[in-house]
Structure 1
Amino acid sequence: MQTQSEAAFSAANPHRPPSERDDFTITQAWDQYTPEEHDRWRRLFERQADILKGRAAPEFLAGLDALAIAAEGIPDFRRLNDELGRRTGWQIVAVPGLVPEPIFFEHLANRRFPSTCFIRSEDQFDYIQEPDVFHDVFGHVPLLSNPMFADYMQAYGEGGLKALRLGTLDNLARLYWYTVEFGLINTPDGLRIYGAGIVSSEGESRFALESPEPNRLGFDVLRLLRTRYRIDDFQETYFVIDSYEQLFKATLPDFTPHYAALKTLDELEPGAVLEIDTIITRGTGRVKRH
């Protein structure tokens, strides 16, 4: 989950854009992208589009087509919002980078997805630590055209506002990480990717489905909320949903009982496998860094 505290945001972003508003939104300024930046998008898009054939969830691919997110260049948020708004009522809002948690959740709860609008530099072509417009738009936006997933994202935003009040954000952030960013889904044709952190990554698109190293476990909310995750490497465990409806229904109820249960349960390391787990694939372990 790409958020941070107010203090951390101020330290990391000493020069905030002058047009920034109270909700941290800015103007995308689409006409200011250079030909080189559009070309960089095109090359990233073409590489991922090829890799994702037979790997990405059909709903993700359908969203790419429905929203006409294409290889020609960085999309204009205004055009995307026209189509996205008609389909699910969501809008993309441009932000300067990481935003504080309350702002992030407030946007999601009101069906607004905060997206950065800068694109990575050429020397970051294969890997960038923070989200750029390619990760945010190519990775996240297509599934926002799916009504069930769109409802899930709004419910997550509402849950995040409550988690802030209860002091349980660290646990809830794991739900976002293991679903929105690094989720897998069962389909009639086998496991497929839907998490934005995977679909926007050349290496992890292959690793998540094909490597023998990681665990692939059936989705379970409480189990997931206990599980730490890696931010510096490919994941040691992926959680697999059967449908977006399952995801929405499992996470719609009040999480207060979950938070109470977590106080009595140990946290789990990223690669842990329990007897109670539904094991789809038991990994061989972390044998190398990626």
Structure 2
Amino acid sequence: MAATHIFNAPPEGVAADWTMPQNWSAFSPEQHRTWRTLFDRQSTALDGYACRSFLKGLDILRQLTPGVPDFAELNALLKPASGWEVVAVPGWIPNRPFFEHLANRRFPAANFVRPPEQIAYSEEPDMFHDIFGHIPMLADPAFSDFLVAYGEAGLRAEKLGASDFLGRLWLYTVEFGLVVEDGALRAFGGGLLSSPAETLRALTSAEPRRIWLDIERVMRTDYHFDEFQRIYFVVESFEALLRATEDTDFAGVYRKIANDPALEPGDAWPGDIAYDGRLSPVGAGPAKGVAAR
């Protein structure tokens, strides 16, 4: 089944910036039950696998009335804790408003909940993915600043026609990133944290590759939504991820790789440094850029 909540122009009731009233009272008892089932199941499954920042930020969601979150109630807790607020959007939105929201510390969340028959796997990112998978991480200052820097970089990438390259950085960090904590790997990407099965595979299976993050490499690496990822990128810390974003000349990377073919997730690359249990890679920085601005 193809994703259905994709729009080329704001539908009726949606503002020019793609935000919309949440209309929380319209969510059905069945949707509230779906949310509670997902929340109880997946928050319990992540102990020992999710990073500390996510587990700490999850306490914000635990303070809410059980069921589909009322964004007004959520923002009353989230804004003082992080400076961020959640805004409701109809689903997939165009790049420019998405980047603008991030640059201004507004996190767009899909205003629909997956149907019960998709409770184990949603065909497209829904509110549970957006809220459960991403909102707890906003309470981490360095990761929060990384998202703002990403939004600002996205607005520049739009002018250069390079948003696809930047989208790969989002997928391999914000959705499927791994971080080293106390000498062990932990998940911080929302695509992992909203899917305990892939979290377990990413951290424990011998099958996928795990390499230290290199921004040029990430931007050249294709991805597939219809299967578990075959490669995961590791960061030393969220401060290192933020530094790499701030210190990299993204426009220089775009120019360098513009005519290069995309790498398949299973392909090797000469600069790859495999994660081998060390706190940082030997011989290179954990999140290299190309040139400082």
Q: Same fold (TM over 0.5)?
A: yes
Give the unaligned 5+ runs of structure 2.
277-293
Q: CA deviation at 1:80?
A: 1.4
SS at match of 1:217: strand
Q: Distance in 2 between matches of 1:110 and 1:15?
A: 21
Q: What's 1:247 paired with?
A: 241
1:112 to 106, 109, 114: 106
Counterpart amino acid of residue 241 in structure 1: V
- 1:249-268 pair list within 5 angstroms: 249-253=243-247, 254-263=249-258, 265-268=260-263
Counterpart amino acid of residue 142 in structure 2: M
Q: Distance in 1 between matches of 2:192 and 2:5?
A: 29
- 1:25-174 pair list within 5 angstroms: 25-68=19-62, 72-174=66-168
Q: Distance in 2 between matches of 1:71 and 1:241?
A: 34
Cα-to-partner distance string for 1:224-250 (whole Å, 9 max, x where unaligned): 111111111000100000100000010
Q: Distance in 1 between matches of 2:246 and 2:155?
A: 14
SS at match of 1:223: helix
Cα-to-partner distance string for 1:265-290 (whole Å, 9 max, x where unaligned): 44311112234311126xxxxxxxxx
Cα-to-partner distance string for 1:79-120 (whole Å, 9 max, x where unaligned): 111222112211100001111111111111111111012110
2:193 to 187, 199, 217: 199
Cα 1:280–1:189 shift into 2, 3 Å: closer
2:183 matched to 1:175? no
Q: How many residues align?
A: 274
Let me know the Cα RMSD of the aligned residues.
Answer: 2.3
Q: CA deviation at 1:130?
A: 1.2
Q: What's 1:273 paired with?
A: 268
Counterpart amino acid of residue 260 in structure 1: R
Q: Distance in 2 between matches of 1:168 and 1:199?
A: 28
Whether contact under 8 Å (2:10, 2:16) holds in the other structure is: no
Cα 1:68–1:252 shift into 2, 3 Å: same
Counterpart amino acid of residue 262 in structure 1: I
Q: CA deviation at 1:10?
A: 11
Q: CA deviation at 1:13?
A: 4.1
* TM-score normalized with structure 2 length: 0.87
2:14 matched to 1:20? yes
Counterpart amino acid of residue 268 in structure 1: L
SS at match of 2:74: helix
Give the unaligned 5+ runs of structure 1.
1-8, 282-290
Counterpart amino acid of residue 49 in structure 1: S
* TM-score normalized with structure 1 length: 0.88
